[in-house]
Structure 1
Amino acid sequence: MIKSALYLSVCTLLFSSFLPANEASLELGATIPKADTRLTDISGKEVSLNAAKSNAGLLVIFVANQCPYMLRNEQRLQSICETAHNNRVGVVMINSNEAGRNAGESLAAMKEYAAQRKLPYYYLVDRNAEMADAFDANHTPECFLFDKTGKLVYKGAIDDSPGNAEAVKNKLLHNAITEMLAGKNVAVATSSALGCNIKRKM
């Protein structure tokens, strides 16, 4: 029994050493993490989050090309990004799936994904999941909304039914954007992001 417990402890320690060393959870009111770090956009430009931020704020969404939850949320995601963009909120999509860079999450695949959907927003490669770690982002899609001063006012899901658009009762991100633009406190400022795990390199 003692040997089994010791073996389990050693295995747990070894496995945990391969897990990402995420930074502390990003709290409401926090400033944009690594705001001046430049990431490669699908256009070839090097873009920082500060540069992408617009007059009314910044919406950062961690996404993937192949995640089933992304496919289920595509129309909702495009609609909310358009709403943000039309209200002078900068929009950035970030792909942190480092484990899939040689396959469906490569820069070439990202370009193809964006072209097929005619995405007019920044779509950035997050090398070594540096941004995902800084944001403590773990799922796709996962959303972070910052106000005009660069302070975090909402984090979490697009809405309360990521698996089924017809069952949505609370448009969490849409409401957060509306309340932020109106100068109000966001009523529901955090929610659980349900989706595919961000695939960091082991």
Structure 2
Amino acid sequence: MARTESNMAPLGTLAPKFRLKDTNSNFEYSYDDLKGAKGTLVIFMCNHCPFVIHVVKEIVMIANDYRVQGLGLIAISSNDIEKYPQDAPELMTEFAFQNSVEFPYLFDETQEVAKSYDAACTPDFFLFDTNDKLVYRGQLDDSRPGNGIPLSGSDLRGAIDSVIYNRVMIEPQKPSIGCNIKWKTD
């Protein structure tokens, strides 16, 4: 299994704007439609990546714990569905249902959104504050498929707590590791 790290975009970067179709509802949403009152978490993920499958339950728990506290959550799949049909929108809907993903799971068909975020892997986490400035980009925690470390979400939860409760952000931020985004070739 390939291991690709996050690109670690510069902190303070403004959240790129977008408008994408939600595979859970069939509605189109923009970043501004979905951002939270206390901050916004954008997650690049997909259906078939073993790293995403490994962490999806913890992502759902984080969503359930923090949505009520004002965190907006947005998941985006940007993979090339011609080469990876298991990531097609109708299967995204099925994946979301099977894994209780109740927050928007958007399809980035053109891959322009992934490029604008400088996303590199799945999962890739981007946490923005109330001013839509990037304050965290990094890993969920140290758990990886097969390494025996239990999931905790500790790195991401600490960053979210920092945003919601105005605490000092954890340092250093470690990159996420996952499958590379499956880019379309020209």
Q: Is the shorter-chain TM-score for this pair beyond 0.5, marking a shared fold?
A: yes
> RCO higher in 1 or 2 (8 Å CA, sep ≥ 6)?
2
Q: What's the % identity of the aligned pairs?
A: 33
Deviation at 1:26, TM superposition (A): 2.7
Q: Which amino acid in 2 is paired with 1:41?
A: D
1:39 equivalent to 2:35? Answer no
Q: Could you state the TM-score of these two structures normalised by the residue count of structure 1?
A: 0.80
Matched-pair contact (CA < 8 Å) for 1:59–1:89: yes
- Listed as ranges, the gaps of 5+ residues in structure 2 are 1-6
How far does the alpha carbon of each residue in 1:118-140 deviate from its partner, in whole angstroms, 9 at most, with x for none?
22100000122111111111111
Q: Which amino acid in 2 is paired with 1:121?
A: F
- Listed as ranges, the gaps of 5+ residues in structure 1 are 1-23
Q: Distance in 1 between matches of 2:38 and 2:55?
A: 24
Query: Alpha carbons of 1:25 and 1:134: their partners in 2 closer, same or farther (altered >3 Å)?
Result: farther
How far does the alpha carbon of each residue in 1:71-124 deviate from its partner, in whole angstroms, 9 at most, with x for none?
111221111222221211000000000245761011111111111122210000
Query: Alpha carbons of 1:155 and 1:100: their partners in 2 closer, same or farther (altered >3 Å)?
Result: farther
1:109 equivalent to 2:91? Answer yes
Q: Distance in 1 between matches of 2:144 and 2:55?
A: 7
How many residues were matched structurally?
A: 177
Given candidates 97, 100, 105, the residue that maps to 2:79 is: 97
Matched-pair contact (CA < 8 Å) for 1:154–1:189: no
Q: Distance in 2 between matches of 1:51 and 1:91?
A: 11
Matched-pair contact (CA < 8 Å) for 2:141–2:156: yes
| Structure with the higher fraction of residues in helix conformation | 1
Q: Distance in 1 between matches of 2:52 and 2:121?
A: 10
Q: Which amino acid in 1 is paired with 2:158?
A: N
How far does the alpha carbon of each residue in 1:14-69 deviate from its partner, in whole angstroms, 9 at most, with x for none?
xxxxxxxxxx9631011111x2x210101111101111001101000000100111
Query: Alpha carbons of 1:105 and 1:184: their partners in 2 closer, same or farther (altered >3 Å)?
Result: same
Query: How big is the alpha-carbon RMSD for the aligned residues of Structure 1 and Structure 2?
Result: 2.0
Query: Alpha carbons of 1:165 and 1:59: their partners in 2 closer, same or farther (altered >3 Å)?
Result: farther
Q: Could you state the TM-score of these two structures normalised by the residue count of structure 2?
A: 0.87
Matched-pair contact (CA < 8 Å) for 2:58–2:152: no
